Structure 1
Amino acid sequence: MNMQKLLISLFVISALNACGQNHQDNVATIQTQEQSATEMLSTESKLWQSTDSKITFLIGKVTPKLKSITEPAYFAKSSAQLDKDGQFSMSIDLQSVNTDIEIRNQRLKDWFFETSKFPTATVTGKLDSVAINQMKIGDILLLDQSLVLNLHGQDIDIIAPLLISRTSKNKIIVNTRHPVILDVRQMNMLNEVSKLVEGMGLSSIWEQVPIFFYGEFTTK
């Protein structure tokens, strides 16, 4: 074999080896990506936790001149968790209520929530933890969730229209698709509303209270 044919043969062999190596590299890359995706989408039961979720509500009131005013308020402190069995629990610090006006905050604490006797409210329920843990990143789950609100010593059954989205391996976001409407009659708190009406010199306060929720839950 002359030198020219030898060089050509060596070039062909080298090219074939390179192609084979590239194919192996591509296969290895795909396998690594598939393995990462499998790890990311693990359906193992998890403990999800959230602190200081955004819990807001609207206060509707009517002035003596019959002018309607809607004022937002929120709770600055709360904690929540969804355990491995799907048991959901949330504790809300009622003393953290905030309307951005201190005297109004104090009136809500003293006259409506009566935080000296009822400092916290709780929300409990059983969620479908299997469906939540099976969510892939980018998935959205819609739930009309039965929950129990304990407020002012009363247990109140509510239905929360929830939107749950998985944004990463270790994070889900839960928020209400539209507000939960609480009725002060159902909560047996008309006397507390009357205290606010009288103390604030109002004509009336709406008996229906819209509540919104947004929480970011993480797991290890």
Structure 2
Amino acid sequence: MMKRSFINSAYYKLGAMALACVFSTVASANWSLDSEQSSVNFISIKKDTIAEVHHFNQLTGSVNDKNIATVAIDLNSVSTAIEIRDERMKTVLFETETFPLATITTDITLDEVNASPVGTVTVQNVDLALTLHGETKSYSTQLQIFKNNKDTLVVNTTAPIIVNASDFKLLAGIEKLRELAGLSSIASAVPVTATLVFNQGK
């Protein structure tokens, strides 16, 4: 009896250690942004009726073990398909020498995602914080999270987020851009969308 009890106890301890090890690995594994597969886009409107889609070429980010997702946008990587406009947006609007990055942070409930089978789409309501040009504003929005496989998540905004230049002290920069381009108007509110791909343990 004592021998069997000892063996059972040993197996129990080994099993508990194995489970603890697995749990620790899952809990501590971070998710890294795949910058090549991810995108943040915004639409500018000039002369009241002309809309153009722009994006940023350089993104970095992660989701840590506390479920906090962070994405940093390199504002010097803005791409509008017109080189002189890119330069003006960097220097006149974003003032990248002082404010080179914009950051997005939010809380994603990974427990719900991890419990879902591969191929599942989970929709979560979140409060998203955008820091830009030294100012921070929070947006209540909805994210669609697609579990592509056990190590890849695709996070999409379900609708555009409307970013107002006045919230980030960018109105003067927009007016200067309008003057330089000789335009009658440039909209001060822009829709922003994002597709973010996160890989686990990479």
Pair member with larger Rg: 1
Alignment correspondent of 1:82:
63
Q: 2:43: which partner in 1?
A: 58
The question of whether the paired residues in 2 share the 8 Å contact of 1:48 and 1:81 is answered with yes
| Aligned equivalent of 1:48, options 31, 48, 67 | 31
Q: Are 1:98 and 2:98 counterparts?
A: no
| Residue 188 of structure 1: how far off its partner (Å) | 2.4
Contact 2:34/2:199 (8 A) holds in 1: no
Displacement after TM superposition at 1:44 (Å): 5.0
- Deviation of 1:136 after TM superposition, in Å, equals 1.5
Letter in 2 for 1:143: Q
Determine whether 1:182 maps to 2:167: no
**Letter of the 2:188 counterpart:** E
The reply to whether residue 150 of structure 1 matches residue 126 of structure 2 is no
Opposite residue 200 of structure 2, the aligned amino acid is T
Q: Which residue of 2 aligns with 1:132?
A: 113
**Counterparts of 1:85 and 1:130, CA distance in 2:** 11
Deviation of residue 161 (structure 1)? 2.1
Q: By how many angstroms is 1:129 displaced?
A: 2.3
Q: 1:89, 1:123 within 8 Å by CA — same for their partners in 2?
A: yes
CA distance in structure 2 between the aligned counterparts of 1:144 and 1:187, rounded to whole angstroms: 24
What is the distance in 2 between the residues matched to 1:216 and 1:88? Answer: 12
- State the alpha-carbon separation in 1 of the partners of residues 141 and 71 from structure 2: 14
Which of 203, 206, 209 is the equivalent residue of 2:190? 209
Q: Is the 8 A contact 2:134 2:168 kept in 1?
A: no
Shift of 1:159: 2.5
Deviating runs (4+, > 3 A) in structure 1?
Answer: 42-46
Rounded to whole Å, the distance in 2 between the matches of 1:203 and 1:182 is 21
Residue from 50, 63, 69 that aligns with 1:69: 50
SS in 2 for 1:204: coil
Cα distance in 1 for partners of 2:195, 2:160 equals 11
* 1:42-72 residue CA offsets vs partner (Å, 9 max, x unmatched): 975641111322111001011xxxx621111
Distance (whole Å) between structure 2 residues aligned to residue 108 and residue 51 of structure 1: 25
Structure 1 43/134 Cα, relative in aligned 2: closer, same or farther at 3 Å?
A: farther
Residue ranges of structure 1 left out of the alignment (5+ in a row): 1-38
1:180: how far off?
A: 0.8
SS in 2 for 1:103: helix
CA distance in 2, matches of 1:96, 1:135: 36
Which whole-Å CA distance do the structure 1 matches of 2:27 and 2:116 have between them? 11
Deviation at 1:113, TM superposition (A): 0.6
Q: For 1:125 and 1:217, locate their aligned partners in 2 and report how far apart those are by CA, in whole Å.
A: 14
What TM-score comes out, normalization by structure 1 length? 0.75
Work out whether 1:114 is the aligned partner of 2:95: yes
- Could you say which residue in structure 2 is the equivalent of 1:197? 178
State how far apart, in whole Å, the 1-side matches of 2:28 and 2:191 are: 33
- Matched-pair contact (CA < 8 Å) for 1:43–1:133: no
2:89 aligns to what SS in structure 1? helix
Q: Which amino acid aligns with 2:173?
A: E
Task: Report the count of equivalent residues.
Answer: 176
